[in-house]
Chains A and B, each alone.
Chain A
Amino acid sequence: MAGLITLNPLNQRRWESFCHNRRAFWSLWIFLFLFLLTLIAEVVANDKPLLVKYDNQFYFPFLYNYPETTFGGDFELETDYRQEYARELIEPHGWMFWPPIRYSYDTINYKRVAPAPPSGENWLGTDDQGRDVLARVIYGFRISVLFGLTLTLFSSLIGVTAGAFQGYYGGKIDLFGQRFIDIWSGLPVLYLLIILSSFVEPGFWWLLGIMMLFSWMALVDVVRAEFLRGRNLEYVRAARALGMNNSRVMFRHILPNAMVATLTFMPFILTGAITTLTSLDFLGFGLPAGSPSLGELIAQGKANLHAPWLGITAFVTLSVMLTLLVFIGEGARDAMDPRK
Chain B
Amino acid sequence: MTTASEPLLQIRDLNIEFFNGDTCETAVEHAFLDLYPGETLALVGESGSGKSVTAQSILQLLPRAHSRCSGSIQFAGENLLDIDTGTLRRIRGDRISMIFQEPMTSLNPLHSVQKQIGEVLALHRGLSGSAAEQRIIELLQLVGIQDASKRLNAFPHELSGGQRQRVMIAMALANEPEILIADEPTTALDVTVQRQILALLHELQQKLGMSILLISHDLNLVRHNAHRVAVMQQGKIVETDTTDNIFSSPKHPYTRMLINAEPSGFPVAPSDSSETLLQGENLRIWFPIKRGVLQRTVDHVKAVNDISFSLQQGETLGIVGESGSGKSTLGLALLRLQSSKGAIYFHDQPLHQLSQKALRPFRREMQIVFQDPFGSLSPRMTIADIIGEGLEVHGMQDEQQREQLIIKALEEVGLEPETRHRYPHEFSGGQRQRIAIARVMVLKPKLVILDEPTSALDRTVQSQIIDLLRNLQAHHNLSYIFISHDLAVVRAMSHRIMVMRNGTVVEEGSREQIFENPRHEYTQALLEAAF
Once the chains bind, are A243 and B394 in contact (CB under 8 Å)? yes
* A234-B375, A248-B393 known; A243-B363 Cβ under 8 A: yes
CB atoms of B393 and A253 under 8 A apart: no
Interface CB pairs A-B, < 8 A, 11 = A9-B423, A234-B372, A234-B376, A238-B436, A239-B378, A241-B368, A242-B443, A243-B361, A244-B389, A253-B378, A256-B378
A241 / chain B contacts, CB cutoff of 8 Å = 335, 337, 363, 367-368
Which A residues are CB-close (under 8 A) to B389? Answer: 239, 242, 244, 252
In the assembled complex, the CB of A16 is this many whole angstroms from the nearest CB of chain B, namely: 12
Q: Does B377 contact A (CB under 8 A)?
A: yes
A256 to B378, CA, bound (A): 10
B370 within 8 A of A: yes
Taken together as a complex, chains A and B put the C-alpha atoms of A10 and B422 apart, in Å, by: 12
Q: Which residues of chain A have C-beta atoms less than 8 A from B359's C-beta?
A: 243
- What residues of chain A lie closer than 8 Å to B393, measured between beta carbons? 242-245, 248
In chain B between 387 and 415, which residues have their CB closer than 8 angstroms to a CB of chain A? 389-390, 393-394
Chain B residue total in the interface (Cβ 8 A): 31
| Chain A residues with CB below 8 A from B423, complex form | 8-10
Tell me if A93 is interfacial: C-beta within 8 Å of chain B: no
Per-residue A-contact encoding for B422-439, CB less than 8 Å = 1, 0 else: 010100000000001001
Separation of A116 and B476 alpha carbons in the complex (Å): 88
> CB within 8 Å of B: which residues of A?
3, 8-10, 233-235, 237-245, 248, 252-253, 256
> Distance in Å from the Cβ of A19 to the closest Cβ of chain B?
15
A252 to B368, CA, bound (A): 20
Known interface pairs A10-B379, A10-B380, A237-B337. Does A242 touch B439 (Cβ–Cβ under 8 Å)? yes
B379 contacts which chain A residues (CB < 8 A)? 10
Asked if B360 is at the interface (CB within 8 A of a chain A CB), the reply is: yes
Which of A9, A234, A242, A248 touches B367 (beta carbons < 8 Å)?
A242
Q: Known contacts A234-B372, A237-B370: does B439 contact A243 (CB below 8 Å)?
A: no
Question: Does A3 contact B363, Cβ atoms closer than 8 Å?
Answer: no
Q: Which residues on the B side are within 8 Å of A239 (C-beta)?
A: 378, 389
A235-B390 contact in complex given A9-B423, A242-B439, C-beta closer than 8 Å: no
CB closest residue in chain A, given B338: A237
Could you tell me the distance between the alpha carbons of A242 and B378 in the complex, rounded to whole angstroms?
13
Q: Which 3 pairs, one residue from A and one from B, show the smallest C-beta to C-beta distance? A: A243-B363, A234-B375, A234-B376
CA distance A253 to B389 in the complex (A): 11
Add 20 more A-B contacts to A240-B337, A241-B337 (CB < 8 A).
A3-B380, A10-B380, A234-B372, A234-B376, A235-B376, A235-B378, A237-B368, A237-B370, A237-B376, A238-B376, A239-B378, A239-B389, A241-B335, A242-B390, A242-B439, A243-B361, A243-B363, A243-B394, A245-B360, A256-B380
Chain B residues, Cβ within 8 Å of A237: 332, 337, 368, 370, 376
Across the interface, name the chain A residue whose C-beta is closest to B377.
A235
Q: Which residues of chain A are within 8 angstroms of B436 by Cβ–Cβ distance? A: 238
Chain A: which residue is nearest B361 at the CB level? Answer: A243
Nearest CB on B from A335, distance (A): 16
